[in-house]
Every structure is written in structure tokens, then in C-alpha cells.
Amino acid sequence: MDKSMTVGVIGAGTMGIGIAQVAAQAGHNVVLYDAREDVVKKAVADLLGTLDKLAAKGKISGEEAAATHGRIKPVNNLKALSGCGLVMEAIVEDLAIKKKVFADLEKVTSAGTILATNTSSLSITAIAAACSDPSRIIGLHFFNPAPILPLVEVVPGLATDPKLVAQSSQLMASWKKVPVICKDTPGFIVNRVARPFYGEALRIHEEGIADIPAIDRAMKEIGGFKMGPFELMDLIGNDINFAVTESVFRAFFFDPRYKPSITQQRMVEAGWLGRKSGRGYYRYDQGQEQGQEQDHARGQEIVERILVMLINEAAEALNLGIASRDDIDLAMTKGVSYPKGLLKWADEKGIAECLTKLEALEEQYSEDRYRPSPLLRRMAREGTTFY
């Protein structure tokens, strides 16, 4: 796949225009389709302003900004994608709508066109089932904002041609992205492994162990995370975070490890969606709350509890062959900017210590939510490490 290949993008929302920008900056001509003509034209016009700002900051040259913008052509007819070598779909997370788009797309593109979905939580296999030739459907999950975050999860469905995995990974690398390969399972790598970052923080808050600002401070100041879980949920949008949590919970047949929080639901019901609504776990029309004073020992306890849950989830993903050891750690550092890969972190802490903390939580709560991964049990018994 060279730069002469035209890339199609379906959906002119934040992800769609972001992916279009990435492809255009990599030298491809891009056809950007959206059924709403006004939306697609506005998206391309707004992108020019974004590129001009990058040029003003010296991130790219003025010539590169103009060339990138000039490579993107807005269209409002799906047939305009007929000459594309790759088509990226980035529309609403609705399986029925995506299946219809791919069925229609298959009819207007050539047999050699790769059809990719940017879904973050839906089954690639289910989307591909809408096509007569599901072998050319693959998941390429970018992270928001697509031009900045380097990670792309490459996800083949059951019927995907194996050659597409290597081809797509090479293409993403040529776009200066970091591809990781994972199985078509709920949440892929990042949205699966990261669930305890939010879920366990919510549980700690609900139990009254610490308030929201204290939990966020502990995760940043002691844990080394760039943002605390509540700050991050407000940034993502509490409606989006709750929807993803519900989706993963259902997709795993109601495994208690992924159980949503009543607190999440109430925030959505109140319309406290985070930064975009002006209020979430924090109020954005006022100064940030400082929260209760907390000693270092309590902060350390919070970090340890959330961290061992994250490590357990990463270990279970490896145990079930969701992705390789290196790709799991790469996904968490490049996709959500964790300070370390979780499996490497587990080695530093000690596998046996991680297991002991999980077993203590399991005994304390008598909940399957805290069950340790069989891989951690085996490694602790054998004295082995991930690296």
C-alpha cells in the first residue's frame, strides 16, 4: 500500500476528520464522505484552521498544512468511494447502522478494497457478517484525538483474511502510528484492560474511603498517571464512559469484573456529563475542588488497589491470548498514556505481592470481581515473571 492509494473515510465527526487528517498528512488523497453535506463541508473547513494553528506553532510547515488540506475531498455520495484502496468507517457505535453501511459499501467498492471499521466496542465479526465477502473487513481502532494519540488496535474478525493484518499494521506504521494486534473480543485491549481504572475508583469513592479529588490526586501524585480516573471520565464524557462500560459488561455475559456503577448511571441521568456539559465529577464553571486532606499511606492504598486490578486484567488478557505481552503493554502506554506497561509494572511489584493483594480483596468482599487471573496464580507458584 503506497501513497498513491486513495483512502476513503466515512463519517465527518471528530474521529472521522481526525483519521482523514492522519491519512492526508501521510501523503494519501482522501475522500471524506458524510450523508450530511453541511457537516462534511464544515469539518473540512474547520480542519484548515487546525492545520494553520499547527503551522503557526511550528509543528508543520505552511506548505505541509496547505498540501494536507488540499488532499481531502468532501463528498456526499457513497459511490464517490469506489476508487479507494482503503475505506475507514468512523460513525455512530450502532451495530445495525454499521452493518448497513458496510453492506452498501461492499456494493460500490472493488473486491480488492480493504474495508475497515473504527469501532471501539462492537464485534468486527458481527459487522463483517453483513457483507458477502467478510474476508476484507478489519478493525482499525484509532484513539481520540487521532492525529495526536499514536495507538491503533488492529483487530481481525473471524473471517478476516490473515494477510490484511500484516498489511494494515504496515500501513498504520507508515502513517507514524503504533499498531498492536488483538483478538476480536469485547473492548479489544485498551477498553477491556482499563475498566478497573474507572470501576475500582468509583467503588473506592462509593465506600467512602476517599473523596473524588483525593482519589485523583493519589493516582497522579503517587501512581504517576497523567490524569486521575474522575478527571479522565469527565474528559471522555460520562455518558460515553458509562455506555462503553455497559457494552463491555453485556458483551462478557455480565461478568462482575465489568459491572457498571450506580454512580455512573446517576451522573448520566443528571446530565452531568463532564467538561462538555460544564459539570461532571467536577464543576467547570468554578475552581477545582481540593477535597479532603489525606495522608500518604491512604493514597498509597488507593493506588495499590486500582493498580493490582489493572494488572490482573492485563494478565487475564494475556492468559486468554487477546494480544501478546508486548502489545498489551504498548497499548496501555501509547493508547491511554499509562506511566508503565502493566505487565512490566507487575514484575517490578512482584507477581506474588500482586496475587496476595488480589486474594485479600477477594476474601474481604467475597465477590468474583476480585478473582485473580489463573496466569498470576501459576506465575506466583512457579516464581516466573512476564519479562
Residues 6+ apart with CB under 8 A from 214: 291, 292, 294, 298, 299, 302
**Residue 215 in contact with residue 201, Cβ under 8 Å?**
yes
**Known active-site residue 191:** yes
Residues 6+ apart with CB under 8 A from 156: 124, 138, 139, 162, 164, 165, 181, 184
**Known active-site residue 301:** no
Catalytic: which of 89, 153, 200, 316? 153
**Known active-site residue 120:** yes
Terminal Cα distance for the chain, rounded: 34
Catalytic: which of 28, 69, 141, 205? 141
* Cα-based angle 189, 280, 97 (whole degrees, multiple of 5): 50
**Known active-site residue 296:** no
**Residue 264 in contact with residue 212, Cβ under 8 Å?**
no
Catalytic: which of 120, 123, 238, 312? 120
Place of cell 448497513: 100
**Residue 305 in contact with residue 357, Cβ under 8 Å?**
yes
Computed over its alpha carbons, how large is the radius of gyration of the chain? 22
| DSSP state string for 286-304 | SPPP------HHHHHHHHH
Catalytic: which of 191, 238, 261, 312? 191
Task: State the catalytic residues.
Answer: 120, 141, 153, 191
